[in-house]
Structure formats: C-alpha cells, structure tokens
Amino acid sequence: MTQHHQFEAVIVGAGGAGLMAALHAARSAKVAVISKLYPTRSHTGTAQGGIAAALANMEEDHWEWHMYDTVKGGDYLVDQDAAEILAREAIEAVIELEHMGLPFDRTPDGRIEQRRFGGHTAEHGKRPVMRACKSADRTGHMILQTLFQNCVKQQVTFFDEYFVADLILEDNVCRGVVAMDIASGEMHVFHAKAVMLATGGFGRMFKVTSNAHSLTGDPVAAAYRRGVPLEDMEFFQFHPTGIYRMGILLSEAARGEGGVFINGQGERFMERYAPTMKDLASRDVCSRCIYLEVKAGRGIGGKDYVYLDIRPETINRYKSAPGGRTVTAHELETKLPDIIEMMRIYQGVEPMREPVPIQPTAHYAMGGIPTDSSGRVRANEGPGFVTGLFAAGESACVSVHGANRLGTNSLVDLVVFGRRGGRAMARFCQQAAFAPLPADPQAAVVAELERIRANTGQEKAGALRAEMQAIMMDNVSVFRDAGLISAAQAKVRELKERFAHVQIDDKGRRFNTDLLEAFELGCLLDLADVTASSALARTESRGAHSREDYPQRDDANWLKHTFAFAGQPSGAGLAMGEVRLAYRPVVVTKFEPKERVY
C-alpha cells in the first residue's frame, strides 16, 4: 500500500542547508522535511573547523576580500555574482545563527572569536586573515543542533528515516517525491508545489573519503535520471589532511592554529610551493604538493604519506601560529579537542609529542544540481528553470566554489543559500497551485526496488562498490590524464552492466538496508560516470581538476561550466547510458582571471 501526503513545500535533507531552508519556508508555507537519517545525524554535524564571515572581530576584514578569496580559490570558475552574495550575506547569516542561540567561541570582550583558514586572506592575498567563526572544532555540530531545535520550535513536520528514491517530474514541472519509510518498507508519495533537494555530497564514490557512509547522492542521481543536468561534476575536492588510509578528516583548523606539513626529509615543504600562504594555501594546491612530494620519494619512509605536525615545539620553532605567537599544548587541546582525540583514538598517535601521518581524502563535491542564487534549479545550460524544483547546500552548484572550495565556505553556503532557497520556495508556494500528479508516480521506483529484491544474479553490491571506489581513487583523484580517466569511465560502465545482476541476501521489507545500499550503489555509479565523463572532456587543469596531459589552465577555451545530461537508460533498471555534455559561460563581474599564486 502506498501512502499519500500533501505539503506545499517538501525539503529533502535535514543537514544545514535543508534545515535553514525549512526555517525560512515555514514562515508562510506548510513544510515537510524528509531525511533518510535522523536529522541530527546529517553530515553537517561533523563539520569541524568553522564558518567564514568577514566580521572583522579580530583584525581588519571586508566582504570584498572574502569574495576575492572565494573567486581565486575556485580558480576563477566561480560565478562572481553568487560569490558576492555569499560574502556579503555571510555576515548577517552568522549573526542570525548567533541570535538563534548558537554557542560560538568568544573573545574576552564577548564577540565571536575567529581563526585562520586555508586561502582566506587580507588585502587580496597579502597575508592570512582570521575569518572563520567557530565553536572549538565542533562548529557543524552546533549549527545542526541549533537549526534542528529551531525547526522543532517552529513546528516543522519531519519524516525521519524516509529514503527518497525518485522525483515526480513531468513536463519540466516538479510535483513531489517518492520515498520509502525505511522502518516498514512502505512507499510514500509526497505531493508538493515546491521541492528542494538539500541532500549533501556523494564522496562515497571514492575509496579514501572523509564523507559519511550515507553520502551517496541518491536524490541527485534521481534528478539526473529525470533529465535535470548536473554541473561541474569533474571538480571533486581532495582535502589534504585525511587520517592515513582511513580518510577521516583532520580539519584545516589544525593548520589555522599553526600546524605544518613535514615530508620524509623533515622539511616544511609548503614553503617551497606557496611562499606567502605556506601550509594555508588552498586545498587543491596542498593536496597536489603532497602527491608531488610522495612521487619524488619524499613521503615518510618513502611511502605514500606525509606528516601533519601540530606539536607546540614545531609550531613555536616555525612561528607558524597566528601573529607568530607562542602556543602551548593546553591551548591547542582547547581549540582542537575533537581532532586531537581522533588522532589519539584512530591512529594511536600522541599529537603533542609525535607528528601525525596524513594523506589527501575525497572531501567535497564542488559540482551538483545547477541553481541560481535563489536556489531555483536550471533546466539546461541556457536561461530555463525547472518549475517547482529547488536545490541548496553541497548537492547544489550555485556556483560559489567553482573549481575548488575554500575551507569554511561550505557552512556559509548552506546558511546563505539555504535561507534564500527557503524564502524563494515560500514565495513560489504563495502564487503556485498544486500541479496534478501522474497516475502511479511510485511505479518506476517500486519496479526497480522489486527488480533488485528478486534478482538472482551473481553480483554482490559490496564487491561492485569496492571496485568503483578503487578505480575512482586511483584514476580520477588528485592527478588525472586521458588514459586514466578513460579507463575509469570504461570500468564504471562495466560495473553498471554488472549492477543489473546484483543479488541481495535480505528479501524482507522492514529495515532492508541491504536493498537500500544496493540502490545507493546504482546512484553512485551514475554519478561516477558523470564525474569521469565531465573530467575526460575538460582538457585543461583548473582547481581540483589537474590533468597531467593538459597542465595549464586554459581560459580561452575552458572558462565555462560543464552541464551533463543523462542519455537513454542503459538497459536494466534505472542506470543511465551515455552522458551528454553542454557548457555555460562563467559570470565574471569584479575579478578578471589571473594566475593563482599563494
């Protein structure tokens, strides 16, 4: 039996973006938030380092400097009209969070305390600036709890542990979503005037990642399968400091407080590559430098990792703390409690006495569902929009991060564009009627889930997933070339064929995570195909997309966004065939593209 619901606005995802949108949409519309996780388990809760806003509480700062850093950090692929909104509205959005009760760290005189972060500078690149607002290294946790409590107060309706598997989208009008109640296995159709996708990233396509197990991009794949384009999917950020082999994140805040990278020869190698910003150069730059050091045989013991060193004696020797201050172990423990704990627990390292082995880890999708600055989803590379469909947060591409996101700019993206998207949905709901539902909107998803449940093929989802993650990690990560990417694309397409023969062990209905994990794998395979296809076509190096066969940035030919569309279904199930690519110009307002020097 399928259950039916009607809400004016349905928001898929209860992370920072979804909850911020819900708070603002709920001021005038009847809103439901659907989440496959209990809301406070969303990945936003793991964000550590901070949220950027040019509050200038510690030293001189301006929103224009923040905008400039964002554009430069994104290697000029950023739409500058959107970056201006991000940098300007960051300030009031952070104050709004403060007024909701978020417990930010404070300066002695009671203002929000700020710290340094990679790529954030004063006077257009002259020196690092303290711009990241924070609650120790648990900033995302505090944001998520604060927003959730405010949503409860505002009586937003939540559907917790409901898995959205399809969009109801016909004739370019979004009419709702189809979801499964994970506990019962029952299908639910949500009829809506406006739908927002705020479903986070999809880093689980890579083997070493900072991303939670849930970050599989299912609703992004659902939109793609329904004809919505995906923008700039070749740009996936590798964060330089993942715990070696595990990928668990150690926030850039460690370097903001003075931590440095050290190679196998005991050298602080970032001084060579980025003389001004050093260890606080942007993430794409640091990750590439680590790979180059490893390739030159200067990894630790000649192996494929380097050290992150946050020992007070090292920081004090290099005078790498803000202002060249002397730091103590006690101060670091207060400012970085969680990540120091993680180093101890997961690595068995005592970071006050030993350096910590790290390697780049798949961290953030710059690409996603294309939107304008009100969260409206673009229907194509031209001026068209999908009526009634919105997106925000990591699953969206506004694009404020361009080819590489700066640290602390995601949390601000969530609140600035979540809020704008929520308000735009509310306005839309006031003037729009409910578009009629097609007959049996759940049919395609039910058929796919039943196909997987009943399949008697020989393939196992876990094995296919491991093969996908390995090839994407080896061939489509920090450095790429045509040979590597083509091999990955061919492999992903082979895996899609084999996915048609996946057999699961649990044939039941209740809490069938076996079934849902197989379904998620199908989604990841489509997104991996789009990532590889978009990367193969872009014959230049820019931001996180670094081609060894095309090492230069090529503004004459490539100062443009990729839009990827699904071809016809490839056979069994919902998996899509060939990817079709189109391009859209980048919006340049204030800053002409220049060579990036850190």
Ligand X SMILES: Cc1cc2nc3c(=O)[nH]c(=O)nc-3n(C[C@H](O)[C@H](O)[C@H](O)COP(=O)(O)OP(=O)(O)OC[C@H]3O[C@@H](n4cnc5c(N)ncnc54)[C@H](O)[C@@H]3O)c2cc1C
Least Cβ distance, residue 361 to ligand X (angstroms): 9
Closest CA to 286 of 167, 117, 471: 117
Distance CA 409, CA 87 (A): 9
Total residues at the site for ligand X (CB under 6 A)?
Answer: 44
Instruction: Specify the residue for token string 């993650």.
Output: 469
Least Cβ distance, residue 298 to ligand X (angstroms): 27
Least Cβ distance, residue 206 to ligand X (angstroms): 12
If binding is defined by CB under 6 A, does position 219 make contact with ligand X?
Answer: yes
In Å, how far are 233, 449, 496, 516 from 569, measured between CA atoms? 20, 16, 11, 20
If binding is defined by CB under 6 A, does position 533 make contact with ligand X?
Answer: no
Q: Of the candidates 7, 22, 48, 279, which one interacts with ligand X according to CB under 6 A?
A: 48
Query: Which amino acid appears at position 522 of this protein?
Result: G
Distance CA 219, CA 13 (A): 9
Number of residues assigned to the chain: 598
If binding is defined by CB under 6 A, does position 237 make contact with ligand X?
Answer: no
Least Cβ distance, residue 524 to ligand X (angstroms): 12
Least Cβ distance, residue 261 to ligand X (angstroms): 19
Query: Which amino acid appears at position 234 of this protein?
Result: E
Segment contacting ligand X by CB under 6 A, of 213-221, 270-278, 470-478, 547-555: 213-221
If binding is defined by CB under 6 A, does position 218 make contact with ligand X?
Answer: yes
Q: Of the candidates 10, 40, 50, 342, which one interacts with ligand X according to CB under 6 A?
A: 50
Q: Of the candidates 210, 387, 512, 533, which one interacts with ligand X according to CB under 6 A?
A: 210
**Please, which residues bridge with residue 130 across strands?**
116
If binding is defined by CB under 6 A, does position 399 make contact with ligand X?
Answer: no
Asked, as a colleague might, if the bond just before 399 is cis with ω within 30 of 0, I would say yes
If binding is defined by CB under 6 A, does position 139 make contact with ligand X?
Answer: yes
Q: Please report the DSSP string for 549-583 in residue order.
A: TB-S--HHHH-EEEEEEE-SB-SSTT-B--EEEEE
Would you say 200 or 312 has its CB closer to ligand X?
200
Site for ligand X in 3-22 (CB under 6 A): 12-18
Those residues whose C-beta lies under 8 Å from the C-beta of residue 500, and which sit 6 or more positions away, are 457, 571, 572, 573, 575
Residue of 115, 138, 283, 542 marked catalytic: 283
Least Cβ distance, residue 179 to ligand X (angstroms): 6
Q: Of the candidates 10, 31, 49, 469, which one interacts with ligand X according to CB under 6 A?
A: 49
Site for ligand X in 239-268 (CB under 6 A): 249, 251
Distance CA 357, CA 87 (A): 34
Those residues whose C-beta lies under 8 Å from the C-beta of residue 87, and which sit 6 or more positions away, are 54, 63, 64, 66, 67, 70
If binding is defined by CB under 6 A, does position 34 make contact with ligand X?
Answer: yes
Distance CA 273, CA 286 (A): 9
Dihedral sign computed on CA atoms, order 205, 207, 208, 210:
positive
Q: Of the candidates 22, 47, 56, 415, which one interacts with ligand X according to CB under 6 A?
A: 47
Q: Of the candidates 25, 29, 44, 526, which one interacts with ligand X according to CB under 6 A?
A: 44
| Catalytic (active site) residue 580 | no
Would you say 499 or 550 has its CB closer to ligand X?
499
Closest CA to 115 of 294, 327, 311, 417: 327
Would you say 131 or 561 has its CB closer to ligand X?
131
Least Cβ distance, residue 388 to ligand X (angstroms): 18
- Annotated catalytic sites, by residue? 283
Residues engaged in binding ligand X (CB under 6 A): 12-18, 34-37, 42-44, 46-51, 139-140, 163-164, 198-201, 210-211, 214, 218-219, 249, 251, 364, 393-395, 408-411, 414
